[in-house]
Structure 1
Amino acid sequence: MSLAFKQETFRDDYTFRNSPEAIRRFPFPFPEDQYMYSVNIEPHTPGPKGAVTEFTLDVDEHYVAECRDKAITLEQDPGRCASLPHMMDAEWDFLEFSMESLARDYPEQFSLSKNGKAWTWVNRPLGLEQSFVFGDAATLPMGPFEYMGRQVQGDFVLLDQREDTLFADAGIVTSQADWSLAFNVGMSWHEWHGPVPQVTKLGVMDRALKFLMSLQQGNPVRRLNWTMTINPRLDTSPENYPLWGGDRNKVTEQNAGELAHLRVELQTLFRMPRSNAIVFSIRCYLISMQEMATYPRWAKRFHRVLRDLHPDLVEYKGITKYQQAVVAWLSRFDDGADIGTGTQPE
């Protein structure tokens, strides 16, 4: 697979843009005109050629820029990567899983050679080559989880299964949608998801936990989640709220097309072989309203979803201040005609 990596930024001057190909493959999450929070889990089987689900881990035109942005965030706040002492086996599981996946699916960009426990990893886009002994953290420049977490797009949480629940006991999180790893690390499943509205009375989290506790190795699952952000900023953490929170006051009906971005998370979960931990991958995709509107069917549908969104979800997703401005901007694409179901752009 041939990839052309873009030089762009996700902060300050915000030069991030999607190519027409990236827009077309964007994981638009709305098959209907209404949205209500649900588990919506499906098997993580290979998707169509070119889709974000084609391979186990998605690498796209933003790879180099996203890895650089992740490195900046970790330099400014090393606490964005945390792992409790008992998670070392899970860290090595993650390293092997991510290296093998990337080398298998993107052989032009990554390679992995093994001679017993003596391994050599090559990451051509980032200009890295590392020989190390598998299982010996001293032979890597940093812990195995952080080493590979820096080289894969998205955030990762390692879930330890014990006491009839799951615990978020390790994570590398630099592109989260307004939640804090420092606050969540070590939390149980229900503690972590407690703030999500509607889910307790609907029993959504109980059903999701029961399902994930039985997740089998070799049978990963996935779901899409979404929110919005102003400007194409990956790091919208509570710790850095002063850097991005005020941007929500700048949105008007006139500039919403440029400033407002739909933020979709492709969330995938994989059971690891040695530790029995679950790798929770949270891959973030951004698209501006202007880019979305290149497919008017998407703009029409999102207009209806956002216009009719439950007030609890409006508040939870942090879009109260600019919801109406974005709805007004999108309304020009909604002629009232029936769209049907599905997420295809045309």
Structure 2
Amino acid sequence: MTTTDHVRAPLHERIATFPWPFPARHYRYSTNVEPALQQTRTSAGSWGGRIIDIDGDYHDELRQRAAILHADPTRHAVLPHMVPATWDAMLLVMRELAADYPDSMHLQQGDDGSWTWRNDLLGRQHTFVVGDESTLPTSPLLYIGQQVQEDLVLLDQREEHLWGDAGLVTFAADWSMNFDVGMSFLQIHGPVPRVHEEGIIPRAEQFLMRLQPGQPYRRTNWTMSVGHRLDTSTETYPEWGRDRRLLNRDDIGHRLHLRVEVQHLLRLPGSGCILFLIRSYMMSLEDLATVPEWRAGLASVLQELPQDMVDYKGLTRYRDDTVAWLHAAG
């Protein structure tokens, strides 16, 4: 499947539930963490009532994930000491799905301690015993990760720091799970401008280490991508990097997309690790511009964005043309 073959959910649905990331008409890095499960109003609708979001792109995005994993199994990485946490994460995700989508997702514990999971959307059902991988067709993180649209990262907490020691990430925005696995939280965020000088990453790490089970939090992040391509990992840079160089003014409206990540942060009750869920949403500028407040807001954010942040987000070549296009679209 090419990056142009996706079968999308209807535009009105995508606009109504799009997680607009800009509360103001300027942007700076911040922890911007808030309690999860709060419905957030936008100029076009609302988002955020669930931790795991199943929408009209569900089957398409899972097909993309399966193809990526088939081509590159290293997108799934688990250090040996994190195996118990992967079971913990799988059960938490299953519980969330069963609670929020009871018509299609079902989790039941048997009298013998085994569990039965049924996903009617995918026609899957398995009975498994926690800790016994022979009772699942794949490892726990791989099993549940192929049934949600979110990427999953597991952070271990030791030596007074967090460590990215496991994950299943097929839709990374210019980073690599396989490269980052085993790194500390501070090392993972090393390339991001301003956040170290301003102490944002150490504060974020301290906040995360105080998370309690049953108290989920979330934040948003954003960037821009050429083409509707969720997989912009460093592994595939030769494929998508050239798109930035070839973008021209006439293509901006339909080829350039605002990409927004909704990141959920949850302390796992059994292992004590932190589950980091990353759901990526994309909208072309011509679709986004149908909401006047979004068109004007994005133009203002991009125009005011400091140059080092423009460079880091890969916007240098087309920032000015994009601002001009957004103004003209009004």
TM value normalised by structure 2: 0.95
Residue 15 of structure 1: how far off its partner (Å): 4.8
Matched, 1:30 2:22: yes
Corresponding residue for 1:93?
88
Question: Counterparts in 2 of 1:1-16, with a 5 A limit?
Answer: 11-16=3-8
Q: Is the 8 A contact 1:253 1:328 kept in 2?
A: no
Q: Is the 8 A contact 1:132 1:139 kept in 2?
A: yes
The 3-state SS of whatever aligns with 2:153 is: strand
Corresponding residue for 1:338?
none
Matched, 1:284 2:280: yes
Residue 294 of structure 1: how far off its partner (Å): 1.1
Q: Is the 8 A contact 1:176 1:235 kept in 2?
A: yes
Which residue identity lines up with residue 241 of structure 2 in the other structure?
Answer: G
Question: Counterparts in 2 of 1:28-107, with a 5 A limit?
Answer: 28-47=20-39, 51-107=46-102
Q: Distance in 2 between matches of 1:57 and 1:182?
A: 24
2:250 to 244, 251, 254: 254
Q: Is the 8 A contact 1:83 1:171 kept in 2?
A: yes
Residue 257 of structure 1: how far off its partner (Å): 0.8
The 3-state SS of whatever aligns with 1:263 is: strand
Identity of aligned residues (%): 46
Question: Counterparts in 2 of 1:208-227, with a 5 A limit?
Answer: 208-227=204-223
**Structure 2, unaligned runs of 5 or more:** none
Which residue identity lines up with residue 166 of structure 1 in the other structure?
Answer: L
State the aligned residue count: 326
Q: Distance in 1 between matches of 2:40 and 2:125?
A: 31
Which residue identity lines up with residue 220 of structure 1 in the other structure?
Answer: P
Residue 17 of structure 1: how far off its partner (Å): 5.8
Q: Is the 8 A contact 1:120 1:130 kept in 2?
A: yes
**Superimposed CA distance per residue, residues 43-75 of structure 1 (whole angstroms, 9 cap, x where no aligned partner):** 113426984311121111111111111111000
Question: Counterparts in 2 of 1:114-263, with a 5 A limit?
Answer: 114-116=109-111, 117-263=113-259
Residue 22 of structure 1: how far off its partner (Å): 1.5
Corresponding residue for 1:297?
293
Residue 213 of structure 1: how far off its partner (Å): 0.7
Q: Distance in 2 between matches of 1:329 and 1:287?
A: 15
Q: Is the 8 A contact 1:300 1:333 kept in 2?
A: no
Q: Is the 8 A contact 2:222 2:259 kept in 1?
A: yes
Which residue identity lines up with residue 253 of structure 2 in the other structure?
Answer: G
**Superimposed CA distance per residue, residues 250-285 of structure 1 (whole angstroms, 9 cap, x where no aligned partner):** 322222110000000001100001110000011101
Residue 240 of structure 1: how far off its partner (Å): 0.9
**Structure 1, unaligned runs of 5 or more:** 1-8, 335-346
Kindly tell me: are residues 33 and 46 of structure 1, through their superposed partners in 2, closer, same or farther at Cα, counting changes over 3 Å?
closer
Q: Distance in 2 between matches of 1:18 and 1:288?
A: 13
Kindly tell me: are residues 249 and 17 of structure 1, through their superposed partners in 2, closer, same or farther at Cα, counting changes over 3 Å?
farther
Residue 185 of structure 1: how far off its partner (Å): 0.3
2:303 to 290, 295, 307: 307
Which residue identity lines up with residue 88 of structure 1 in the other structure?
Answer: V
Corresponding residue for 2:12?
20
The 3-state SS of whatever aligns with 1:321 is: coil
Q: CA RMSD in A?
A: 1.6
Q: Distance in 1 between matches of 2:71 and 2:47?
A: 30
Q: Distance in 2 between matches of 1:14 and 1:325?
A: 27
Q: Is the 8 A contact 1:254 1:329 kept in 2?
A: no
Q: Distance in 2 between matches of 1:306 and 1:17?
A: 27
TM value normalised by structure 1: 0.91
Q: Distance in 1 between matches of 2:2 and 2:222?
A: 18
The 3-state SS of whatever aligns with 1:255 is: helix
Corresponding residue for 1:5?
none
Q: Is the 8 A contact 1:155 1:175 kept in 2?
A: yes
Q: Is the 8 A contact 2:7 2:60 kept in 1?
A: no
Q: Distance in 2 between matches of 1:253 and 1:18?
A: 26
Residue 244 of structure 1: how far off its partner (Å): 1.2
Kindly tell me: are residues 273 and 185 of structure 1, through their superposed partners in 2, closer, same or farther at Cα, counting changes over 3 Å?
same
**Superimposed CA distance per residue, residues 311-346 of structure 1 (whole angstroms, 9 cap, x where no aligned partner):** 111111112122222111101246xxxxxxxxxxxx
Question: Counterparts in 2 of 1:310-325, with a 5 A limit?
Answer: 310-325=306-321
Which residue identity lines up with residue 287 of structure 1 in the other structure?
Answer: M
